[in-house]
Each structure stands twice: as structure tokens, then as C-alpha cells.
Amino acid sequence: MTVTCAQFKRDFLAEIKTLYATTLNDTSPLDQLIALGHLVRRYDGPNWAKTARAYQTQHRKQVYYFSIEFLPGRLLMANLLNLNLVTTVRHGLKELGLDLDQIRQAEPDPALGNGGLGRLAACYLDAMASLDIAGNGNGIRYRYGLFKQLFINGYQVEMPDDWLRNGNVWETRRENKSCIVRFGGHVWLQPQANGTLKPQYRDTDDVLAVPYDVGIVGYHNSVTNTLRLWSAELPPNADHTYYSQAQRDQIDDITKVLYPDDSNSAGQALRLRQEYFFTSAGVQSIVRHFCAHHHGMRTFAKQVAIHINDTHPTLVIPELMRLLMDEHHCSWDLAWALTRQVMSYTNHTILQEALETWPVALFQGLLPRIYQIVAEIDRRYRAQKTPVFGAALVDQTAPLGNGQVRMAYLAVIGSHSVNGVAPLHTELLKKDVLHGLYQVYPERFNNKTNGITLRRWVQLANPPLARTLDARIGNLWRRNPRLLKTLLAYQYDQGFLTELSQVKLANKQALAALVAQRLGLQIRTDAIYDVQVKRLHAYKRQLLHVFEILREYFQIKDQPTAPFVPRVHIFGAKAAPSYHYAKAIIKLINAVANLVNHDPVVGSRLKVVFIPNYGVSLAEVIIPAADVSEQISTASKEASGTSNMKLMANGALALATYDGANVDIIQAAGAKNEYPFGLTVAEVYRYYQRGDYRARDFYRGNPELKRIVDSLVDGTIPGISTEGREIYDSLLRYNDEFFVLADYASYVAQQRQISQDYQDQTAWQRRALANIAASGAFGADLAVARYADDIWQVPHDRLD
Ligand code: TH1
């Protein structure tokens, strides 16, 4: 996109005048943001239209990425970057007396996701557009995103996230592309004159699904793809149906709020409604679009790939069957063949509590026709597979069982591909969670290690680092992340290593300023910034990190004059509102922060910073400032993790268990450049098998650890009498489900090592460099290219 600075200024002032009928100095940063957004859209409009047209005329196979969460982050800078407009706009605004960095802060951060799953979906959309893949997102336009988190007296308090209050400049409502989604009622199959059966519906609750499209701009390639988010509304009232307030509310509720559960199944009827709502609307719009350009359905699978991001969109499978059979007169066999060719599924977790199942009665009542189809899928699966695999295995793996609809099994059976998100995770899927289905369909299983977009996580979030990299290796790494490897040539370049520590210092100063402003807390910038940012979950073991803080605290208290390498422990984490234990950990962290931060003996040497309301925008400030990346989940529990990759790319060293993608990060950067520790998956599983884990033995055998655990209940930490007891009990009475006590010693040994190693800045920055250089392997563009080649079978730009 080429616009001169002068042209931009004219356009911007005209936009201000049109929108607000006033002059520039009478507008707020929010007004300016909206004007700028409109202008960016005007500049990009021709690309968006041209992209859609090109896909049509070239009959390009379309990928539809279905996800119940998308966590795109603020879009202004990402769009300017990808359109190559950052410099022009920055200068133009400056000449008008405005500051781009102030305006960008006025943009709301759409929190339409919980964490890694939703952020992954957003990274992949960016990568698809940047690789010139005809890729579309399909999801929900939540009226309220993930709650805003406050701390009151150290407790998490949730406030609604009214992100649409001032509208959303990036979206386009397309009411003419609406469709009807049916819930409930009765359905029966009516014989037709031609001998076929056609379903008839009575007393259904109909909901209008209205799409809001957001342009997804590719990096410097004139491609703009579409993210389509659906909103539930009252159907157009041609026949003057009467809707009671309760009925109106029920419709409104469908897209009102994102369920705040990460790696956990909500199990609520409303969640099932949300799932069918965006799934049905999405598949209807795909089929409608296809039919507008093709005759008959036979080539459908050559033109369409549908991706199921975790099980939440699994109903695309029976919904496509329904449309093909009921509306497009396909036989079961043709419909099933097409469906399986089109569908692919990514599993993101092996946690039992995250695996979605729906009680048959609930499912059947809400989705009677879809239930019939699932029951038929189940019947045929059993009939075909029992003679080959035996009744026991088939019974264990069928879509229906124990009175439940088992979404993951349905997703595997109805797809041609199922993948995990890191090699270790994929192996566990095959061996454990989906072992039965792996026996039936071994060829469907494959791994696709997660990836992140370095354009957002380095180029935008860490401009000083990006500039430093450009100066040495050129800027082509933005297109081809693998080129970061060429940085290794500078491993022994003292000048470059010094630059890296200056970059880190600048980012720490920025974070320290934010902390001072938001928390009124001073943190020194020569300390080790030890960062754990992710959802609060027992398996992620923020508790282990708290134990290290207490160890350091006791160390200083015991020997106030002994040398101590200064540390700042930084947390960002939201707990699901109903997750009692996670909320107790939040209170604990805040109580420990309160204790440590105000202790005059400790002084500035040790600080604990828990920044409320962690999300994409905060991540963009915290991650570039990190020295240490805490990735300390119990081995086997974290499917991949993606903050590990973002922190690595920003030069943090990983303090990590052998879990998820940590394994691959350690391998890529070299173990000597990270701090691996803890039980391996094999060791964890051995404990499970033998049932011989005894948390108490670790407690009794280690006085330092005992003192820390006791401090939860002996009054050392003020204000946690109930939470402290609860956490204490989880460890000793309930035998420490996540092996915190077992991993304590090896974790702390590495923490001590970190304090020692950090003092040699040259050696430290050399290892930071190794991490940055190796992070290219985790670029989203590479990950998406592998999906395109192996799963979706669509062409894409080559990266080399
Ligand atoms: C996360 C996984 O926990 C994480 O390890 C992984 O890196 C990320 O997905 C991306 O692959 C998951 N988030 C959710 C959210 C819900 C349900 C299951 C998962 S798994 C709502």
C-alpha cells in the first residue's frame, strides 16, 4: 500500500471532519482511533474485495477455521504493519501534532478468547493471509469478552468486558448474509413423492445468525481474508410471531458472553447452544457460497476444507451431513464421504475435565435432527467396526456411550485428520486419550506443533529488538522466520550481545513504568525479571513459583547481609470465576506479594508483581521484558503452551519441565541454553500406575520445603487463613495431584543456577541469542504451511 505522508494527512483530516463535523483539536484519542480505523479500512478495501474476487475466479479451495474463540489483540498496529503504513502514519500524525502510540492505546482489546487456544486461532489467521492461503475464520461475536479482572483485598473480582461500547471499527455487519439456526421442537421424516424422506419441523425456536466480518490483512502481499463472527438476533418478523421477553432473552443470551473456562468443559446447555449456533451458521454460509458458484455437490471436497479447533465446533460434522442430505439431496454415503474429506480436527488437551461430552437427553432435546444424524453415525460406526475390532473397543470409542455424546470421538470419526499440538502431546493422544480410535484409524493421526506470529510478538511488541535484528541479519525474518537462525553468527560478537542487554533494559524500563503507574510499585531494572503469564490452573503450577519466592524471602530474612541477586517475579493470570482453587492461589500470590514487597529487610532485592487483567495487550509489554520464562506444568498436562514460544523469541531463557512444546524448545535452542527440570512424563505415569506417590515423604524429607509448606498455615503470610489451609490440604491431605512437592528440589536447584548465571551478562545474552535464533522454528507461518500441505491440501506461498 503506498500513500504519501501528505496524502495521508489530507485523508485523515477529511475523515475527522466527516465523522465528527469538527476540527482535530476537538477530538479525543478514541475519536482519532476510529477515524484512523476508517481510513485504514478505506485503504485496504480494494484488497479485501480483490482477494474475494480472485478466490472465486481462480476456484481456490477455501479453508474455514472454526473456533469458538479468537483472540486477535488490538488490530490497528497489526493492520498498519501488514499494509506497510506504520512509518507514513506515524510521521503524518506527528506533523498533525498527534502521537500514534497514544492513539493505539485507545483501541479496545477484543478478549473473545480465554488464552492459548484463542490466541493460536488468531495467529493462524494472520499466517494464512500472509501465506496467501484462502483462509477464513468462523466464530462468535461475543457481546462481552472475557471478564476484566480486578484485585480487591487480593481477591479476584470479575467485571464485564463491554468491549463494543464504542462500536468496533474493524467489523462490517452483513445482514444480507444472515441465516436461520433452529433449536428444539420436534422433527419427523416425511416420505416424499419421489420415495425419499424429508425432515419436517414443528415448534422450533428459530434464531437469526447475523455475520460481522473482519478483514485479516496479510503481510505485505495485498491479501485480505475474512474472519466471520456470528451474532444471534430475533428472526425478521414477517409473520408477526409473538416473542415473549423470555424468548427474546434466550436468543440474546446465545452470543452474549464468552464462557470464561480455559482447558475445561463448561457443560452447560447454553454452551451447547453457542456451539451449534456458530457451527450451523458457518456451515450454512459455506454451502450457500459453494452453491452460488458450482453445480451439484460432487466437487465440494475439492473446494472446501473445514478445520475443527478443539471439539467445540464438532457439530460441523452432523450439520454438514444434514445440509447435504436434507437440503441438497445427497445420499448418506455421498454426504459421509464428502464430510470426512472436508473435515479435520485439532485436539488441544488431554485433561479429562476438558473433554466435552453432552448428556443425550439435553442434546436430543436441543438438536433433535442433529441427534438423529449422530445416532446414525454411531450405528454405522458400530456396525462396520465391530466385526473387525470387537465389541469392547468399538463400544469404548463410539460417538454415543454412557448416555453421552462424546465430542472428541465424533470429531475423529467424522474427519480425515486429527492432530495434536506438540510431538509429546500427539504421542499421548495415541497412547492414552484417543488410544482406541488410534487403533481404528492410525493413518488419521499426525502432529502439528503450534506456532506464533513473530510479527506481532517481536516486530510489534519489541521494536528495539526488531531494529537490532534488522541491523544484523536484514528484515526478511519477518516473512521467513527460519532466517532468525542466521543470528547464530553473532554469538561471539560482544557488541551485539551488549546491544541485546540494552534492548532488554529498555523493555524492562517500559514494564517498570507500567508497574509503577498501575500498581504504585517501584521495581528495579537490574533485577532478573522472572515471568509466568498464563491462565491460573493447578496443573500449570503457579504454586511452585510461589514456593521459590518464599524460599528467596526466607533466605534474605535468614541472612540479610548475604549477597542476593535481585529478582522481580511477575505474574499475569486470570482464574475461571467458578474455579475455587485457582482463586485461592491468586489470593496467595497477592498475599505473598504484600508480605515481600513491604518488608524493609528485603528492600528492593525481591519484588512480586501480580499485574491484574492479563491479556494480549499486557502480554505485549511483559513478554519483551522477561529474562526467565516459567513453563513449569506437570509433565504431560500442557498440550503445547505458546507463551513459551513468545518468551523465547524475546530472548527469555526457559525454566521448564519436559512438557508440551517445552521439549521441542529445549531441543531447538539446546539444553545448555535453558533450565530444564522435573519429573518426565514416564516418571509421572509410573507414579500413576504404581499408585505410590507420597507427597508427605517429600515434605518430611526436605526441611526447607517443609518450612515453606508450613508457612501456608502458620501465620507467616498474613491474610490467607482459609486459602492457606486449603492449599496445604491439597498438598498433604489430598496427596498433591500435580507433583509440586516432587518437583520442588529440582526446580529450586535450577533457580539457584539462574541467579548465579545471570551475573555473567555476556554468557547470559549469548544464551538469549540462542533462544531468539531458534525461535524461528516456532513461527506460525511454518506451522500453517504444514497444515496447508498435509491436512488442508491447499497451495500457499513458499517461504524460501
Ligand atoms: C490450550 C492448551 O492448554 C495449551 O497447552 C495449548 O498451547 C493451547 O491450547 C493451544 O494449542 C487449550 N485451551 C483450551 C480451551 C478450552 C478447552 C480446551 C483447551 S486446550 C476452552
Per-residue pLDDT tens for 728-767?
999 999 999 999 999 999 999 999 999 999 999 999 999 9
Distance 379 CA to ligand 1 centre (A): 31
Catalytic residue check, 534: yes
Residue 575 has pLDDT above 70, yes or no: yes
Ligand 1 centroid to Cα of residue 414, in Å, is 21
For residue 485, indicate whether it is catalytic.
no
Q: Which residues line ligand 1 (CB under 6 A)?
A: 114-117, 120, 261-263, 310, 348-349, 354, 421, 450, 638-642, 660
HSE on the CB side for 615, CA within 13 Å? 23
The residue-averaged pLDDT of 543-567 equals 98
Nearest to 577 by CA among 273, 149, 117: 149
Q: Which long-range contacts (CB under 8 A, 24 or more apart) does 520-525 make?
A: 521/597, 521/607, 521/609, 522/604, 523/568, 523/604, 523/607, 523/609, 524/566, 524/568, 524/604, 524/607
pLDDT above 80 for 1: no
Distance CA 537, CA 582 (A): 6
In the predicted structure, residue 240 carries a pLDDT above the cut 80: no
Atom in ligand 1 nearest the alpha carbon of residue 259: 21
- Our mutation pick for probing the ligand 1 site, out of 68, 71, 117, counting the most ligand atoms within 8 A of Cβ, is 117
Arithmetic mean of pLDDT over the chain? 97
Question: Average pLDDT, stretch 352-375?
Answer: 97
Distance (Å) of CA 693 to CA 361, 488, 677, 737:
40, 43, 18, 9
Report the atom number in ligand 1 closest to the C-alpha of 349: 20
Catalytic residue among 273, 504, 535, 541: 535
> Is the pLDDT confidence value at 237 over 90?
no
Please state the atom number of ligand 1 nearest to the C-alpha of residue 69.
21
| pLDDT value, residue 399 | 98
Helix spans in 190-348 (H): 245-254, 269-293, 300-303, 316-322, 332-342
| Residue with CA nearest ligand 1 atom 16 | 263
How far apart CA 385 and CA 730 sit, in angstroms, is 43
Element spanning 215, H or E: strand 205-217
Question: What single DSSP character describes residue 61?
Answer: P
User: What confidence score (pLDDT) does residue 593 get?
Assistant: 98
Beta strands in 597-753 (DSSP E): 606-610, 628-631, 653-656, 675-676
pLDDT of residue 238: 60
pLDDT at residue 647 greater than cutoff 70: yes
Residue with CA nearest ligand 1 atom 17: 263
Measured in angstroms, how far is the CA atom of residue 119 from the centroid of ligand 1?
10
Measured CA to CA, the distance from residue 162 to residue 257 in angstroms comes to 10
| For range 125-129, the mean pLDDT | 98
Nearest CA to ligand 1 atom 19: 263
Alpha carbon of residue 454 to chain centroid = 15
Kindly report the CA angle at 736 between 637 and 115, in degrees rounded to 5? 35
Q: Which atom of ligand 1 is nearest to the CA of 310?
A: 18
Query: What are 691-726's pLDDT values in tens digits?
Result: 999 999 999 999 999 999 999 999 999 999 999 999
Interval between CA 288 and ligand 1 midpoint (Å) = 31
Distance 60 CA to ligand 1 centre (A): 30
C-alpha cell at 578: 467458578
Average pLDDT over residues 310-331: 97
- Cell 484519542 maps to which residue? 29
Mean pLDDT of 247-252: 95
Percent of the chain with pLDDT over 90: 97
H or E element: which one contains 708? Answer: helix 703-710
Instruction: Using the mean position of ligand 1's atoms as its centre, give its distance from the Cα of residue 405 in Å.
Output: 21
What pTM was estimated for this model as a whole? 0.98
Q: Treating both helix axes as pointing N-terminal to C-terminal, what angle do 580-597 and 721-732 enclose, rounded to 10 degrees? A: 120
Catalogue the E-assigned strands of 646-729.
653-656, 675-676
CA of 449 to the centre of ligand 1 (A): 13
- Using CA positions, which residue lies closest to atom 18 of ligand 1? 263
Q: How far is the CA of 389 from the centre of ligand 1 (A)?
A: 31
557 is catalytic: no
Is 535 a known active-site residue? yes
Instruction: Locate the ligand 1 atom nearest the alpha carbon of residue 346 and give its number.
Output: 11
**Catalytic residue flag (residue 642):** yes
> Which residue of the set 74, 425, 646, 767 is catalytic?
646
One of 397, 642, 657, 716 is an active-site residue; which one? 642
Kindly tell me if the per-residue pLDDT of 776 is higher than 90: yes
pLDDT of residue 671: 98
Among 69, 70, 146, 262, the mutation site with the greatest number of ligand 1 atoms within 8 A of its Cβ is: 262
Gap from CA of 348 to ligand 1 centroid (Å): 5
**pLDDT at 534 exceeding the cut of 80:** yes
- Say how many Å lie between the CA of residue 259 and the centre of ligand 1: 14
Question: What residues contact 777, with CB distance under 8 A and at least 6 apart?
Answer: 481, 482, 664, 668
Closest C-alpha among 197, 405, 435 to residue 318:
405
- Read off the pLDDT of residues 156-169 as tens digits, 9 standing for 90 and up: 999 999 999 999 99
Catalytic residue among 534, 541, 767, 796: 534
CA separation for the pair 125, 470 (Å, rounded):
25
Which amino acid is it at 288?
Answer: R
What is the best residue among 112, 348, 429 to mutate for testing ligand 1's pocket, by most ligand atoms within 8 Å of CB?
348
606 neighbors 549 (Cβ within 8 angstroms): yes
ipTM entry: 0.98
Range name among 197-206, 298-307, 360-369 with the lowest pLDDT average: 197-206
pLDDT score for 239:
67
Look at residues 659, 607, 604 and name the one whose alpha carbon lies nearest to residue 630. Answer: 659
pLDDT of 196 above 90:
no
Return the residue whose CA atom lies nearest to atom 9 of ligand 1: 117
| Residue nearest atom 21 of ligand 1, based on CA coordinates | 262
Beta carbons of 340 and 416 less than 8 angstroms apart: yes
Give yes or no for a contact between 392 and 401, defined as CB atoms under 8 angstroms apart.
Answer: no
